[in-house]
Amino acid sequence: MLADHLDPMAASLFSLLVIASLLLAFVMLGSRWLKDYMLAFAAQSWLIGILSALIGYYGGYRELYWVAGFTVLFRGIVLPWLILRILRRLNTARELHEVLSTSTSLVIGAAAVIFALVVAMRITKDLGITSNVVVLALTVMFSMKLIGFLMLTLRHEAISQILGILVLENGIFLGTQILVPGMPLMIELVLLFDLLVAVACFGVLVRYLLTHIGSTSSRDLRRLTG
Partner 1 sequence: MLRDVAAQIAQVLAVLLLSPLLQGFILRYEERAQRSCGPSLLQPYRDLRKLFRKQLVVPATASWVFWTAPVVAFTAMLTVPILIPVLTNYPLPLSDMGDILGGGLILTLGTFFVNLAALDSGSAYGGIGASRTVMITILAEPTLILVFVGITLMAHAMLPFVVNHLLVAEPAIYWGPTHLFLVAAFFVLLLAETDRLPIHSSTHIEVYMIEEARVLEYSGPLLALLKWSGMMKQFILYTIFCHVLLLPWGLSKLGTAMGLAGAVLAILIKFGVVACAVIGVETAQSRLRFYRYQEPLAAAFMLAVLAIVANQIR
86/135 with CB nearer partner 1: 135
Instruction: Report the DSSP beta bridge partners of residue 157.
Output: 217
> Residue 19, interface with partner 1 (CB under 8 A)?
yes
Q: Considering only the stretches 8-16, 40-48, 84-92, 196-204, report the one whose residues sit in contact with partner 1 under the rule CB under 8 A.
A: 8-16
| Beta carbon nearer to partner 1, 7 or 126 | 7
Q: Does 147 bind partner 1 (CB under 8 A)?
A: no
Beta carbon of residue 112, minimum distance to partner 1 (angstroms, whole number): 16
Which alpha helices (H) appear in 95-131, and where do they start and end?
A: 102-127
Alpha-helical regions (H) of 75-184: 79-89, 102-127, 132-154, 158-179
Among 9, 111, 200, 204, binds partner 1 (CB under 8 A): 9
* Binding flag, residue 12, partner 1 (CB under 8 A): yes
Residues touching partner 1: how many (CB under 8 A)?
A: 14
Q: Tell which one of 38, 136, 159, 206 touches partner 1 (CB under 8 A).
A: 136
**In this complex, which beta carbon is closest to partner 1, that of residue 25 or of residue 135?**
135
Q: Which is nearer to partner 1, 18 or 158 (CB)?
A: 18
Does 23 contact partner 1 by CB under 8 A? yes
- CA 33 – CA 15 distance, rounded (Å): 28
**3-state secondary structure at position 181:** coil
Dist CA 179 CA 82 (whole Å) = 30
Of the candidates 103, 96, 110, the residue with the CA atom closest to the CA atom of residue 33: 96
Distance CA 181, CA 99 (A): 38
The secondary structure element, H or E, covering residue 36 is: helix 34-59
What is the DSSP secondary structure assignment for residue 91, as one 8-state letter?
S
- Site for partner 1, residues 154 to 213, rule: CB under 8 A: none
Binding site for partner 1 (CB under 8 A): 7-9, 11-13, 15-16, 19-20, 23, 132, 135-136
